[in-house]
Structure 1
């Protein structure tokens, strides 16, 4: 029955899994060109006032997220028809967003294959403990988890650690092409930074690039965080795990204002993306609108998504996220 449901959904979605070359090229142009223009304008505005520069960098951060979505689609080989083109464009957009192509492609593929599976956590996801697991931890392990899940740490330091540090190193046992791609990405990033510092000075470079990097990185972590961590999400042990339920019930539809939806490459239709990652970002909304089985997914808005800040642990008994405050009540009944 489960396989039949998946086959039927795949059949409905199949027409949207073929990329459109014109749409992909158009998206590259209306993303990369404005980003470069905004970067230049932000630099020129330094001579006037940083109060003018900062808003320009925030807008540029939005286009950085859009570049990342192109990179993301290339990692799924959904942005272009040919793997080689996805690989080339993915590597270039990876340099622009500080993400090595092969390394991130692997970890993100694991995330898709294991999302909502409690037995297969730890790669390409956010650290989640169940209530029972947390209660079984030592004081120091609990403290580490609390620090990790603290919004101040997650969204202030998270971008610097995950993007600037974690992305720079290869995993143990990584194949040669993955290691070489990471080295090439790192060298390209250093080369571009060195060139820009030479051309405009390191202070000007940091004043422009640092807010772009931070705001885009923090927004990226937030999007990933809220689209899997809502109150009645779906997390089960492997024997109960179902791919379709993990996609439809374990991923949300983040209903965003149209301009933010455009800048974030329709990633708010996360349930569609998890159901079939071969759908290019520019078709995600059409799949959602034209597939009746996807109409009743969990929908969150910017306002309602703020509740996710208090979600800390997965309660297996009641199948929902709980806060540390709620944990005190639960621990007396366990």
Structure 2
């Protein structure tokens, strides 16, 4: 969707709020957080084991339950299985940042193999995700792959009625968290959309991942039959995809998030004020690989997820920064437009009130 953008001189924008964390000189956080960037091989292997083994056990028990006619019990087990699959994606995510192992090839191969389970092409996703890290919170650099489209109030008002309806429908929670995960994981990531002219590597990543996933699902159907694979494995994947999209949404679409124009955008400010600290209760923090500590992740993406809580413990000034509580996070679903005059995300209803 093409939007009518405003220049920084035409519309005021909100600067990042000043806190103890934002008073740190530009670039200083890179040095402060450098000691946390070193992964521990034994710990990384342990994290893989306690994620993959329970996932496989849950699937095996669910297949057996289905074989005994207890399909409803098998379906119930897809819920914990989905959380373990989300955690496996977080391992893949860290591999994409080169933060899970010291050795590049170890990150590459673990990321590729995990991608078959999460049906996420490793190299293609890594490249699009790197673009997200380089531009998040920048109003003048929107439109990157893998980023939730966000219009300003003025851009939305400038659209035709039909395109306004299209954007409203796109941002509706049923579409965003119901249809969206299916589209992203089962359709969008089956082609290197946005990278089709970048040579053979994006194609190899996407096609290799699709072939690996098809081979895995085909093998399971051959062993157990179509019905148990649909009920156990496919449902697990869809639930995990919905959780993943929800997490990505709340990480940057929250009340208090700050977006800036090119001239004002600074990496550290965008990380601290444009990325949330989703304060999840245990065991959700564990299942989501501490990805809720997203502002710290954007400050230093090379920190392994199992070291992020240590950062908050050692630097309490980061604890309250951009914090969003678990229950409060569900209210973020109503936010759909950036109001440049007010310097905040607003709902469609709030935008109509100020028309």
The TM tier, using the shorter chain, reads over 0.9
Moved more, 265-274 or 181-190: 181-190
Q: Distance in 2 between matches of 1:20 and 1:49?
A: 42
**CA deviation after TM superposition for structure 1 residue 57, in Å:** 0.7
2:27 and 2:268 in contact (8 A); partners too: no
* Counterpart for residue 80 of structure 1: 101
**CA deviation after TM superposition for structure 1 residue 176, in Å:** 2.0
Is 1:121 matched with 2:145?
A: no
* Counterpart for residue 169 of structure 1: 191
Q: Distance in 2 between matches of 1:3 and 1:177?
A: 42
Moved more, 59-68 or 151-160: 151-160
**CA deviation after TM superposition for structure 1 residue 48, in Å:** 4.3
1:73 and 1:79 in contact (8 A); partners too: yes
SS of the equivalent of 1:268 reads coil
* Counterpart for residue 326 of structure 2: 302
- 1:103-118 maps to which residues of 2 (within 5 A)? 103-118=124-139
2:196 and 2:203 in contact (8 A); partners too: no
* Counterpart for residue 311 of structure 2: 287
Equivalent position to 2:56, from 17, 24, 36: 36
Q: Distance in 1 between matches of 2:213 and 2:341?
A: 47
SS of the equivalent of 2:307 reads helix
- TM-score in terms of structure 1 length: 0.96
Structure 1 residues 114-171: Cα deviation after superposition (integer angstroms, max 9, x where no partner):
0000011111210100000000011121111111100001111111100011111023
SS of the equivalent of 1:279 reads coil
2:257 and 2:344 in contact (8 A); partners too: yes
SS of the equivalent of 2:124 reads helix
Q: Distance in 2 between matches of 1:227 and 1:182?
A: 26
User: Looking at both structures, which has the greater relative contact order when contacts are Cα pairs under 8 Å and sequence separation is at least 6?
Assistant: 2
Q: Distance in 1 between matches of 2:320 and 2:182?
A: 36
Is 1:138 matched with 2:175?
A: no
* Counterpart for residue 239 of structure 1: 263
1:12 and 1:291 in contact (8 A); partners too: no
Equivalent position to 2:243, from 219, 243, 246: 219
* Counterpart for residue 41 of structure 2: 21
Equivalent position to 2:298, from 270, 274, 289: 274
Equivalent position to 1:7, from 13, 18, 27: 27
Structure with bigger helix share is 1
Unaligned runs of 5+ in 1: none
Is 1:254 matched with 2:275?
A: no
Is 1:89 matched with 2:113?
A: no
**CA deviation after TM superposition for structure 1 residue 214, in Å:** 1.4
SS of the equivalent of 2:324 reads strand
Q: Distance in 2 between matches of 1:293 and 1:107?
A: 31
2:85 and 2:118 in contact (8 A); partners too: yes
* Counterpart for residue 52 of structure 1: 73
Flag the 1:22–1:154 CA change in 2: closer, same or farther, 3 A.
same
